[in-house]
Amino acid sequence: MAMVKLDSSIVDIEGKTGGTVFRYDNCGQHAQAFPRLIKKRTRKQDFVRSAFSDLSYVWKSYLTKHEQDTWYIFARNYSYPGKKGNIQTLPGRTMYLQYNLPPWWKGEPPLWIAPGFTPEPEHVAPYEAWWPKWVIAWLFRWEPPPF
């Protein structure tokens, strides 16, 4: 389907391409790209997608508020200049995923707390007290990546 601009109106043409194809839309109603063939994802793409969804689930379900806050602070400290000279900062969740995806692909458990931070004082305990999180981290393992 393509969006074609005729005079002052916009017309949908199914199965055709032609006319003006709207790539950008300020109103958020007609953003279009050229029709593309639907092809099956490769094993590598499936692997990366499943790793991302697994780590997103760990972030949402198992990290405490303190652990999430450490990633937000860590991300704020590592801002970088954008294309127009403005300062860009990543959200804490994105920084968490960026740091933990490569070790996750190797089968290692993720970092719960951002580098340079310490756990909450009431949660400092011997290694045996942390085993549920490590078990959860290892439950989502899969075969080595195909690349």
Please give the model's pTM, rounded to 2 decimal places: 0.50
Amino acid type, 128? E
Question: pLDDT tens, position by position, for the chain (147 residues)?
Answer: 455 555 555 555 555 555 555 555 555 555 455 444 556 667 766 666 777 777 877 788 888 888 888 888 888 888 888 888 888 888 888 888 888 888 877 878 888 888 888 776 655 555 445 555 655 555 555 444 444
Using alpha carbons only, give the angle 115, 118, 121 rounded to the nearest 5 degrees: 165
Containing structural domain, residue 28: 1-38
User: Is the same domain home to 89 and 113?
Assistant: yes
What's the sign of the alpha-carbon dihedral 133, 120, 94, 107? negative
Residue 6 pairs in a beta bridge with 9
What is the predicted pLDDT for the residue at 3?
Answer: 52
What is the predicted pLDDT for the residue at 42?
Answer: 72
Q: Is residue 26 part of a domain?
A: yes
- Secondary-structure percent of the chain, ordered helix, strand, coil, rounded to 5: 45, 10, 50
* Helices within 6-111 (DSSP H only): 43-62, 65-77, 92-105
User: Is the same domain home to 124 and 73?
Assistant: yes
User: Is the same domain home to 57 and 16?
Assistant: no
